């Protein structure tokens, strides 16, 4: 989804009083009792040798193939 520069400017200039929040539930005490802080997992850049055909396949799946590699490794890690 893309937003035109004109529409983005309109939204940026929209006063808070004109924003419809009626479909957003209030956060009650139960929400805060169950809430937990989640720290983002830091990333570390590494260099690993991959077979060319494996790398080609990953790149063909998505332009975000490095994220895909991380997801594959995380799935493997979580199952072992």
7-58 confidence digits (pLDDT tens): 999 999 999 999 999 999 889 999 999 999 999 999 999 999 999 999 999 9
For 69, the domain range is 47-80
Number of independent structural domains in the chain: 1
Give the separation between CA 70 and CA 46, rounded to whole angstroms. Answer: 11
Tell me if the pTM is above 0.85: no
**Residue 9 located in a structural domain:** no
Alpha helices in the chain (DSSP H): 5-12, 29-34, 52-61, 65-79
17 in a domain, yes or no?
no
Average pLDDT rounded to a whole number, residues 60-79: 96
Question: Does 13 reside within a domain?
Answer: no
């Amino acid at each position: 989804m893309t937003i035109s520069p004109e529409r983005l400017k309109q939204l940026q200039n929209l006063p808070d009083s004109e924003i419809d929040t009626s479909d957003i539930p209030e956060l009650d005490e139960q929400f805060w009792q169950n809430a937990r802080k989640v720290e983002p997992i830091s990333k570390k850049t590494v260099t690993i040798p991959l077979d060319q055909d494996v790398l080609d396949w990953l790149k063909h799946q998505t332009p975000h193939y490095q994220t895909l590699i991380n997801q594959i490794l995380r799935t493997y890690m979580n199952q072992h």
